[in-house]
Amino acid sequence: MSEKRTDYLSWDEYFMGVAMLSGMRSKDPNTQVGCCIVSQDNKILSMGYNGFPIGCSDDEFPWARDGEDPLETKYVYSTHSELNAILNYSGGSLAGAKLYVSLFPCNECAKAIIQSGIREVIYDCDKYADTPSVKASKRMMDAAGVRYHQYHRSNRKIEIEL
Ligand SMILES: Nc1ccn([C@H]2C[C@H](O)[C@@H](COP(=O)(O)O)O2)c(=O)n1
Ligand SMILES: [Zn+2]
């Protein structure tokens, strides 16, 4: 057997796969999001997933989605996967980079994406497309010239024994 393999992962499968795998680290019981930031020449620069900031215990801070007291919901504490991936990068500039994410970025992450110089967003799910947050995100990225498009699922199943 000396022929080159033909069933290797495409770049998009590889980077979205890494983003999805990162999301599997999330402790959020409802939505796990993963992100992978890639250079223009296809080198992985950073990864992230949604969770609470360092020092804010996953066991002590709330994971609830709603409740009378907003301070008892996850929303005021969780850091989104995209922001974590941007903040996890210690190599200098992200100018010109691509960002793969399993869920469309919210308006707050869009601000960080734009300001860090990321030029392209490849997302999988867009389940919050009708919310003001995602609408604002698209408006800002359109204005700033950040391109975004949905990942084309290959429907390939990957099994990894750990
Ligand atoms: N692009 C996004 C959108 C959301 N997240 C995080 C924030 C929360 O931890 C979770 C959403 O929870 P849900 O309202 O669906 O219960 O996902 C993110 O990291 N990136
Ligand atoms: Zn966000």
Cβ of residue 80 lying under 6 Å from some atom of ligand 1: yes
Distance in Å, CA 58 to ligand 2 centroid: 19
Amino acid at 12: D
Mean pLDDT value across residues 133-143: 99
- With contact defined as beta carbons under 8 Å apart, do 94 and 122 qualify? no
- With contact defined as beta carbons under 8 Å apart, do 1 and 13 qualify? no
Reply yes or no on whether the pLDDT at 99 is more than 90.
Answer: yes
Confidence of residue 127 (pLDDT cuts 50, 70, 90): very high
Cβ of residue 30 lying under 6 Å from some atom of ligand 1: yes
Cβ of residue 50 lying under 6 Å from some atom of ligand 1: yes
Confidence of residue 146 (pLDDT cuts 50, 70, 90): very high
> What predicted TM-score, i.e. pTM, was given to this entire model?
0.97
Question: Closest residue (by CA) to atom 20 of ligand 1?
Answer: 80
Distance in Å, CA 111 to ligand 2 centroid: 9
Q: What is the pLDDT of residues 10-27, one digit of tens each?
A: 999 999 999 999 999 999
Give the long-range contacts of residues 131-137, CB within 8 A, separation 24 or more: 132/107, 133/106, 133/107, 133/108, 134/104, 134/105, 134/106, 134/107, 136/107, 136/110, 137/104, 137/105, 137/106, 137/107, 137/109, 137/110
Mean pLDDT value across residues 142-153: 98
Mean pLDDT value across residues 105-131: 98
Catalytic residues: 82
Pocket test for ligand 1, best of 26, 32, 76, 80 (most atoms within 8 A of CB): 80
Question: Closest residue (by CA) to atom 16 of ligand 1?
Answer: 30
Sign for the CA dihedral angle at 9, 162, 153, 134 comes to negative
104 alpha carbon, closest ligand: 1
